[in-house]
Chains A and B, each alone.
Chain A
Amino acid sequence: MGLSAELFASGLATGAIYALVALALALIFRATGHINFAQGEMATASTFAGWWMMQHGAPYWLAFGATLIASCAAGAAIGRLVAQPLAQASPLAHIATFVGLYAVINGLDGFLFGYEPRAFASPFGAGPFAGTALSRHQLGMIGAAAALMVGLQLFFRFTRAGLLLRASAMEPQAARLSGVRVARVQALGWGLAAAIGAGAGMLIAPATLLDPNMMLAPLLYGFAGAALGGLAQPFGAAFGGFAVGLLDALAQGLLPDGGALKAPLALAFILAALFFRPAGLFGRPDAARA
Chain B
Amino acid sequence: MLSIKSLSTGYGGARVLRGLDFALGAGECAIVVGPNGAGKTTLLRAVMQLVRTQGEIVFDGAALRGLAPEEIARAGIALAPQDGGFFPQMSVEDNLRVAAPRAQARARAYAFFPALAERRSQLAALLSGGERRMLVIARALALAPRLLLLDEASAGLAPRLAHDLFARIADWRAQDGFALLAVEQGPGLAALAGGRVYLMANGRLAPLAQATDDGALARLYFGV
Contact = CB atoms under 8 A, between A and B. Distances in A.
Interface of A: 160, 163-164, 166-167, 170-171, 173-182, 286-289
Given A164-B98, A179-B73, A179-B143, A174 B125 contact: no
Given A179-B74, A179-B143, A289 B84 contact: no
B68 A167 contact: no
Interface in B39-74: 48, 50, 68-70, 73-74
A166 B97 CA distance: 12
B interface residue count range (under 10 / 10 to 19 / 20 to 34 / 35 or more): 20 to 34
Nearest to A174: B85
A102 to B, nearest CB: 29
B86 A174 contact: yes
B28 interface: no
Given A286-B89, A287-B89, A179 B70 contact: yes
A162 to B, nearest CB: 10
Interface string B147-187: 00000000000000000000000000000000000000000
A286 B124 CA distance: 11
11 contacts: A163-B97, A176-B68, A176-B69, A176-B70, A176-B73, A177-B73, A177-B140, A178-B73, A178-B143, A287-B89, A288-B125
Interface string B127-150: 110000000000110010000000
Contact of A178 (B99, B125, B127, B128): B99
Contacts of B101: 160
B90 A179 contact: no
Q: Main SS of the interface on chain A?
A: helix
A288 B132 CA distance: 13
Contacts of B85: 173-174, 177
Contact of A174 (B84, B94, B97): B84
Given A163-B98, A286-B125, A289-B125, A174 B87 contact: yes
Contacts of A286: 88-89, 125
A231 to B, nearest CB: 14
Contacts of B128: 289
Contacts of A166: 87, 90, 94
Interface string B73-89: 11000110100111111
Contact of B123 (A171, A182, A287): A287
Nearest to B101: A160
Nearest to B80: A177
B84 A179 contact: no
B115 interface: no
A180 B84 CA distance: 16
